[in-house]
Amino acid sequence: MKIKYDKFGPEKIIQVYDPKTGMRGVTVIHNTNLGPGKGGIRMTPTVDVEEVYRLAETMTWKNALADIPFGGAKSGIIADDKKISQEEKDEIVAAFSKAIKEVTPELYIAGPDMNMAEHEMEIFANANGDKKSCTGKPAEMGGLPHELGSTGFGVYHSTLVAIEHLGLKHEEISVAIEGFGNVGTFLMKFLTEKGIKVVGVSDSKGTIYNKEGLDYDKLMKVKEESGSVINYEEGEKLESKDLLALDVEILIPAAIPDLITNENKDSIKAKIIPCGSNLPISEEIEEEFHKKGILVIPDFVANAGGVISSYVETIEGTPEKMFEIVEEKITANTLEMLERSKEKNIKPRDASMEIAKERVEARDKNV
């Protein structure tokens, strides 16, 4: 996908390089009609301008649909954090922060994304010289770290709305979660506390499956002590890719982009796919699933809990206030999307895009 320039953006594409640290990075500010562009920084060896653009555009719609006063933006730092020390990583993050200082926080507010967490946000804020330049900071800096589980909490509530929409009963549902990081772990916690059975979980090492359900506390302990869910003893060990074909009602992508492809789409048996990760499925495959009666809740609807938490951080709200607002907005927005989708007989993504664009354009007309 190449960069598409239209009436919404992108407004700025900033590429930076620091010869001293070797830092290479990009920030895309897609749209600022509703407020400063908001979106996290990811650090991977493969991130590029097009990927960051796609994510920045998604943030425009996510923030508009979340009904918060942010535009859309995103950043990427091209580096493999597994091959550098923490000290080198800190230097790279600091160099990136200084390089984009001219647009923060008036036009861009950063946050954590892949391989970035509250420590890196502390480094970013200190290097930038402005605490308002990013969210997801440590609590002692006035932050509401994503480690509180806001994204997983939001995906959980979006999933509950979908379950009710299809008239399913909690005790008859089984769930598979791709990825057991910050989103997947909290997601499993909230689902199992609700009495919903999680039967399969995957990470980069493989999948663990038990049709009777997995125990959250035990799985967390295994992951923390051994580094992978596959070392959970009470289950069948499968390859990571096998998670997609499990016989479950709900499949939740919660880690990598482009997870569901033309090669594996026909193996999926789930009735509901709430997208906990960003860009796990193409719009073309979403269309196919919609025709098959598979309900896909788009990423910018389901996983907006993190950015709603970021908004609460900017207004100096408490963790309790954050969870309250995430539940309220995710529930209302998912419901509005599903009702419009049903009313117009269009796929949920099209319904949610209509709502998001209406909000962005309404603000543009009022400026």
Do 83 and 158 fall into the same domain?
Answer: no
Torsion of CA 207, 213, 214, 216, to 10 degrees: 130
Q: Is residue 320 part of a domain?
A: no
Q: Is residue 357 part of a domain?
A: no
pLDDT of 216 reads 98
Tokens 């647009």, located at residue: 103
Do 116 and 192 fall into the same domain?
Answer: no
Boundary (domain end) residue, out of 110, 142, 174: 142
Q: Is residue 76 part of a domain?
A: yes
Do 17 and 122 fall into the same domain?
Answer: yes
Q: Is residue 317 part of a domain?
A: no
Q: How far, in Å, CA of 80 to CA of 89, rounded?
A: 9
Do 291 and 178 fall into the same domain?
Answer: yes
Do 187 and 114 fall into the same domain?
Answer: no
Q: Is residue 6 part of a domain?
A: no
Q: Is residue 360 part of a domain?
A: no
**What pTM, to 2 d.p., does this model score?**
0.85
Do 118 and 233 fall into the same domain?
Answer: no
Tell me, what CATH number does 132's domain have?
3.40.50.10860
Strand 197-203 vs strand 272-274: parallel, antiparallel, or unpaired?
Answer: unpaired
pLDDT in tens, 318-340: 999 999 999 999 999 999 999 99
Helix axes 319-344, 150-165, angle to 10 degrees: 30
Boundary (domain end) residue, out of 142, 160, 175: 142
Boundary (domain end) residue, out of 121, 142, 163: 142
pLDDT in tens, 160-219: 999 999 999 999 999 999 999 989 999 999 999 999 999 999 999 999 999 999 999 999
Catalytic residue positions, numbered: 74
pLDDT of 211 reads 96
Q: What percent of the chain has pLDDT over 90?
A: 92
Q: Is residue 21 part of a domain?
A: yes
Do 104 and 157 fall into the same domain?
Answer: no
Do 249 and 339 fall into the same domain?
Answer: yes
Which residues, 6 or more positions from 224, have their beta carbon under 8 angstroms from its beta carbon?
A: none
**Mean pLDDT, range 28-37, rounded to an integer:** 97
Tell me which DSSP letter residue 231 carries.
G
Q: Is residue 169 part of a domain?
A: yes
Answer whether residue 259 shows pLDDT above 70: yes
Do 51 and 175 fall into the same domain?
Answer: no
Do 46 and 161 fall into the same domain?
Answer: no
pLDDT of 300 reads 87
> 265 forms bridges with which residues in the sheet?
none
Q: How far, in Å, CA of 294 to CA of 338, rounded?
A: 13
**Which has the closest alpha carbon to 229: 211, 254, 257, 209?**
209
State residue 206 phi and psi, 5-degree precision: 155, -170
Tabulate helix, strand, coil % of the chain (nearest 5).
Answer: 50, 20, 35
pLDDT in tens, 92-140: 999 999 999 999 999 999 998 889 989 999 999 999 999 999 998 999 9
* pLDDT band (50, 70, 90) for residue 367: very low
pLDDT of 184 reads 97
Number of domains the chain is built from: 2
Answer whether residue 242 shows pLDDT above 70: yes
Is the Cβ–Cβ distance between 296 and 286 less than 8 Å?
Answer: yes
Tell me, what CATH number does 248's domain have?
3.40.50.720
Higher-confidence residue of 244 and 58: namely: 244
Question: Domain span at residue 112?
Answer: 12-59+71-142
* pLDDT band (50, 70, 90) for residue 365: low
* pLDDT band (50, 70, 90) for residue 364: low
The alpha carbon dihedral of 175, 176, 182, 185 has a sign of positive
Do 120 and 236 fall into the same domain?
Answer: no
The average confidence (pLDDT) of the chain is 94
Answer whether residue 357 shows pLDDT above 50: yes
**Which has the closest alpha carbon to 209: 182, 169, 257, 241?**
241
Do 53 and 131 fall into the same domain?
Answer: yes
Is the Cβ–Cβ distance between 107 and 29 less than 8 Å?
Answer: yes
Answer whether residue 78 shows pLDDT above 80: yes
pLDDT of 1 reads 63
